[in-house]
Structure 1
Amino acid sequence: MGLAACAAPAAPELLTAHGVERASADRGAYPDELASFRDSALRLGDALLASDQGNVIASPGSLLIALAMLRAGASGEAAAEIDAVLGLPETDRDEAMNALLASLEEYDGDPGSVDEDNPPAKPLVHTANGLFVDKNVPTGGGYLDTLAKHYGTGVHPVDFRDEALTKPAIDAWVSRHTGGRIKKAPAPYDRDNTFSLLNAVYFAGAWDVPFSAGTTFDAPFATPDGVVDVPMMHGMQEVAYAEGAGWQAVDLPYGEGFVMRLVLPAEDSDGGAGGLKADRLAEVARALDAADPEDVDLALPTWDHKSHFDVRAILEQLGLRETLSTTTDFDAIQPGLMITQAAQDANITVAEKGTVAAAVTQINGMATSIQPEPAQSISFDRPFQYQIVHVGTGLPLFMGKVADPR
C-alpha cells in the first residue's frame, strides 16, 4: 500500500491510501446489520447516560463509529470481545458501516456555515473520522486501506512528543468538524501516545413545525430535587405518537430525514428517565416506526447542556477488559498497541426553531513494542569536568573539575 499526500487545512499533512477508492455502499443491502448497529448504539447510550444522574448529552452514534474503526484493526480475544459486548454484525461489519456513513453524508455540509440561531430547514449533518499516528511508529497498511475504503479517512502523521505542534493540530481538527462548538479533544494530551482515533458528529436542523416564541413561558418542571419553573415551549403538532407499559413517546420531526425521539416515563415508573434501558428503547422505536401521525398537544422545555465522559471507564464497565488491556490484538494497527484513553465531549441546544448538537469521541493508544527514541537526558549529579571554550578557535580558556560543588 502506498500513501499519497493531499491538502488538509489547519492540520498536519493528510496521507491517504494510494489507489484505494471509497467503496460504494447501499444501505438497502444491509438491513440486519443496520438493525444491529442501532441496538449496539442503544446499548452504548445506556452506559453513557448511566454514568451521570443529572443532565446528560451523549453521542452513542459517534462512539459506535469510533469503536467500529478500532474493531477494524482488532484480532484475537479483543475482536471477539468487542463483537460480543456490542453485538456487532458477524459479517459485512465495515461494509455496513460504510453504508450507514454514506446515508449520513447525504446531509453533509460545513458546520462553520451554520447560523445556529436559525438552524437550516434541511438538517446539516457532518460526520468526520480522523486518525493521528506517530510518524516514528509503523501503522498497518491493511488497516489504513480499510479506513480509506469503508470509513473515508486517511491519516495525519505527527510527532506526539512535540506537544506544541501536535496538540493544537488535533484540537483544530476537533473545532473545525464541530463548527467550534467543541474546541479541544476530549482526552487529556499524553506525549507517550502514538495513536489517536477520532470521530466527530455535528447536527443542525430546524423543526418541521417550529414552536412560536410567543407560546414559550415559564411552567413547572419536577426535578429530582423538587419542582422548579423553566421555559416551556407549547404547540399542537401532528406527529408519530406511541405509548406502552410505563411510557409515552413522540417523534418530533425536523425539516427532513431526522426526528427528535422524546420518551416520557410514567410518573410511577421505576428509575424514571434512568429506567429507560436499551431493550425498552428498542420497544419504543418499533412502536413509533409503526405509528401513524396524530395531533398531539406538546409542551417541551428548552435546554442547553453539555457533558464529558471518561469512555475508557465506561467501556471497562461494559466488559471490554481484554480490549483495554491487550498489547497483542491491535498489532494490525501498530506493534503492541495498547488502548490508553477513550473520552467523549458532547453538547446540545434545543429551542423554538430547532436543534444544534455536536460530539467528539477520541480513542488513544500507545505502541508498546516500538517506541520513539526518548529525548536525551543528563544529570550532573556526580563529579564532572568543565571547560570555557572559545567557539571560533576551540581554545579552552578555562578547564576545571567539580568533585563537590559545595
Structure 2
Amino acid sequence: MSVSACNALTARWAASAPAPVFAAAGVYPLLALLASVADGPARAELLRVAPTPLALPVRGALGIWTRDRVPLTLEWASRSDPRLTGDPSVDGPLLDAWAATHTGGLVPAMPVTVGPDTGLVLASALAVVTDWPQPFSGGVMRPLSGPWAGRRLASLHRRTTELDALRVVAGPLTLLTVAGSGDIDVVLCTGDGTPGSVLSAAVGAPAVAGPERSAGHVTGPGVVAAEVDADDDVPELVVKVPRFTASATHDLLATPDVFGLAAAATVGTFPGISPVDLRVGAARQQAVAAFSAEGFRAAAVTATALVPVAFRPPRARKLRLTVTFDRPFGYLAVHRPTGLVLVAGWITDPEPARAR
C-alpha cells in the first residue's frame, strides 16, 4: 500500500507543479512519521496522503534534531540526534554536513534554515545511483521544430534490438525504459498534453491496463518508424535524448493540500513528539538529478522544521524505430521490483552542446 500511496503523491505533485526534479519518495517517509505522532485534523490529513510507513529500497536516511526548550515524550527523546542550540552558525553546518554525507555530496546543504524559534527538525535523504549496462554515445542534437528549435544540444544516443523498451499507451503517451544497474530503471516519457498531465500519466502507466501498442508497429509522440537499408533484418531501436542535469528547491507549504500539511502547518498538534503544541513551520526539499552517457544520479533531502505554536513565525528496410526527445519531456527513476517511483522530473532546459 505504501508504494501505491507514494506513487499517487508523485502523480499529484507532478500534476500540480511539474519541475526539473522532485522526489515524493523523499517526502513520504516524513509525512508518514508525522502522521504517526499527530492528532486531530493534522493526523487525518496526513494519513490520507501517507497511510503506512515506507521502507526505501535505495540509500536513505532519517535525521531528527531537537531543542532543549521543547519537552519530548520518552520515545521521541530516544530517537533524536544531537540537540539544536538555536544558533544558526552552529546548527546550520551540523545539518548541512548530514545532508552532504547521506547524499554522497550531491545535496550539500539542508533545504530549511534553523533559528532561535526552531523546536525540532525532521529530515530525510535519498540517493539514486544506477549505471547503464549499455552506455550511450555522445553527440549533438539540433531540433528542427518545437521549443528547442535552432538550439545545439548535447545529445546521447544508442542502438539496441530491445524494442520492448519502447511503449505507447493511451493518451497518447510514449514511454522508453532505460534499464540500469541495481534494480533501477529510468523511464523517459513524452506526450502531447501539458507537462503535469504527461508526467502524472506516466507515473500510473505501468499499472494501467488498456490500449498499448507493441514496438513492432508503434506510432506515438516522438516516434518515427521507417524501412532502411541494412546488413541484416533484425529490427532495432535508436534512442536520442539530450544529456541533462537538473536541480530544484521546493517549498512544500506552497501547496500544503498536496502533502496533507494544511492542518499540520496551522493548528498542529503532535502529542507523540511533545506535550507542547507544535506546528510545521517549514517544509522544503532540495533535489538534484543527472542523466549522462554512463548512468543516472539523483538525490534529495527533505526537511521539516517544527515550531511551538505560540511563536507563529511567517510561512515561507528493416524496421528502425527512432524515439527522439527533442522537446520538453519527463522522466521517472523506478525501483524495478516494487514499481516505486523514486525520483521524477520534467526537463525544459537541457544542457547545451560544447562549443567547437
Q: TM-score, normalised by structure 2?
A: 0.72
The aligned residue for residue 189 of structure 1 is 114
The 1-side partners of 2:295 and 2:105 are apart by 18
- 1:249/1:284 contact within 8 Å kept: no
1:312 equivalent in alignment to 2:281? no
- 1:316/1:324 contact within 8 Å kept: no
Determine which of 15, 21, 40 is the counterpart of 2:9. 40
- Relative distance call for 1:130 and 1:206 in structure 2 (3 A) is same
Letter in 2 for 1:170: L
Judging by fraction of residues, say which structure has more helix. Answer: 1
Q: CA deviation at 1:170?
A: 0.8
Kindly, what percent of the aligned residue pairs are identical?
21
- 1:136/1:159 contact within 8 Å kept: no
**Structure with the greater relative contact order (CA < 8 A, sep ≥ 6): 1 or 2?**
2
The aligned residue for residue 339 of structure 1 is 280
Q: CA deviation at 1:165?
A: 1.8
Letter in 2 for 1:126: R
Task: Please give the per-residue CA displacement for 1:87-146, whole angstroms capped at 9, x wherever unaligned.
Answer: x34xxx23xx2xx33xx1xxxxxxxxxxxxxxxxxxxx421110111123222234567x
Q: Any gaps of 5 or more consecutive residues in structure 1?
A: 1-31, 105-124, 146-153, 372-406
1:127 equivalent in alignment to 2:68? no
Q: CA deviation at 1:232?
A: 1.4
Secondary structure of residue in 2 paired with 1:323: coil
Q: CA deviation at 1:221?
A: 7.1
- 1:242/1:287 contact within 8 Å kept: no
The 2-side partners of 1:218 and 1:278 are apart by 27
The 2-side partners of 1:180 and 1:206 are apart by 18
**Count of residues in Structure 1 that have an aligned counterpart in Structure 2:** 288
Task: Please give the per-residue CA displacement for 1:346-388, whole angstroms capped at 9, x wherever unaligned.
Answer: 11121100111111101111123699xxxxxxxxxxxxxxxxx
The 2-side partners of 1:197 and 1:332 are apart by 14
The aligned residue for residue 147 of structure 2 is 224
Q: TM-score, normalised by structure 1?
A: 0.64
Determine which of 115, 127, 132 is the counterpart of 1:202. 127
- 1:219/1:232 contact within 8 Å kept: no
- 1:202/1:359 contact within 8 Å kept: yes
1:281 equivalent in alignment to 2:207? no
The aligned residue for residue 16 of structure 1 is none
Q: Any gaps of 5 or more consecutive residues in structure 2?
A: 217-235, 313-356
- Relative distance call for 1:278 and 1:340 in structure 2 (3 A) is same
The 2-side partners of 1:180 and 1:317 are apart by 29
The aligned residue for residue 136 of structure 1 is 69
Q: CA deviation at 1:209?
A: 1.3
Task: Please give the per-residue CA displacement for 1:207-239, whole angstroms capped at 9, x wherever unaligned.
Answer: 1211124xx223327563754221111112325
Letter in 2 for 1:171: D
The aligned residue for residue 42 of structure 2 is 78
1:60 equivalent in alignment to 2:24? yes
- 1:196/1:363 contact within 8 Å kept: yes
The 2-side partners of 1:80 and 1:223 are apart by 45
- 1:219/1:231 contact within 8 Å kept: no
The 1-side partners of 2:145 and 2:76 are apart by 50
The 2-side partners of 1:189 and 1:222 are apart by 47
Structure with max Cα Rg: 1
Task: Please give the per-residue CA displacement for 1:31-79, whole angstroms capped at 9, x wherever unaligned.
Answer: x443233223332343452xx5xxx111111011221122221121111
